[in-house]
Amino acid sequence: MGEDDILTPPGNEHLWPEGVAAHYKDRKNWEKYAGQGRPGIFCKVCGVRFFNSGADKHLRQAPEHMDRCEEIPGKGVHGHMEAREIKAIFPREWDEYFKFCVIRNPFEKVISLYWFTVAWNNGELKPKEHVPAFDATWVWGKSGVARSWELYTIDGVPVLNFFVRQERLAGELGAVCRKLGIPFDGWLPRAHGNYRRDRRPPKEVLTPEQVQIIKDNFREEIEFHGYKLDPNDRFS
């Protein structure tokens, strides 16, 4: 990695392998972009700041709040940025660079997020033994976390050059690194790997209702990437 690379700070730093979080902390050049990017809104009715697709979504859902929303500075550079935010801050790089991201089968992603939330919520969710007990309200409420479509599209059109599938992470990341001339020895950390209580594939775990909820909430991602509810789609 070069000195000019921007590494945004990780959350949950205590979970990271020793040395990794320290490395990020030492590299604070993301701070100089504070306040840049797409402006957000502060809704005086809700008392909440909204950014990017969150702001768009809020004004769609509550257009009557529009008059009581004021514009606030953008979030600068941060983790999980949307394509539109990145393009707004780095227009030249956006045009010139090879752009890629890692995607994941939504059926796997929701189950994974469910167990992660169970582990972190200290009892707010009370799963039955080994069975993810989520409903549509939970999935849609979490859509800001789980949906990736808004991150790599602009106006509904995918805008990256390559998608690395999490199911084939090491091989495809290796291919990207070879293309970019970055040395990669194939080693990957197993962060966030210990929350799931049930390793069965989604097909065996999810109810038909849960499958439908995921299909509805991740429709664009499932269609564009051809994801299926199939164990063979996990680790090919």
Sites of contact with Zn ion (CB under 5 A): 43, 45-46, 62, 65
Q: How far is the CB of 57 from Zn ion (least distance, A)?
A: 11
How far is it, in rounded angstroms, from Cα 106 to Cα 195? Answer: 17
Residue closer to Zn ion (CB basis): 24 or 42: 42
Could you give phi then psi for residue 102, rounded to 5 degrees? Answer: -100, 130
Q: Determine the Cα angle at 37 with ends 75 and 191, to 5°.
A: 50
| Alpha carbon 49 to chain centroid, angstroms | 19
Q: How many CA atoms lie within 13 A of 197 on its CB side?
A: 13
Q: How far apart are CA 222 and CA 204, in angstroms?
A: 19
Q: Which is nearer to Zn ion, 36 or 143 (CB)?
A: 143
For residues 40 and 202, which CB has a smaller minimum distance to Zn ion in the complex?
Answer: 40
- For the bound state, the minimum distance from the C-beta of residue 64 to Zn ion, rounded and expressed in Å, comes to 9
* Calpha distance 12→14 (Å, rounded): 5
CB of 47 to Zn ion, least distance (A): 8
SS3 category, 175: helix
Shortest separation between residue 56's beta carbon and Zn ion, angstroms: 13
CB within 8 Å of 113: residues ≥ 6 apart? 142, 145, 146
3 state DSSP class of 147: coil
Q: Which residue number, 62 or 205, has a Cβ lying nearer to Zn ion?
A: 62
CB nearer Zn ion, residue 116 or residue 140:
140
Least distance to Zn ion from the beta carbon of 46, Å?
3
User: Closest distance between Zn ion and the C-beta of residue 39, in Å?
Assistant: 16
Residue 179 CA to residue 91 CA, distance in Å, equals 22
Minimum CB distance to Zn ion smaller for 50 or for 134 = 50
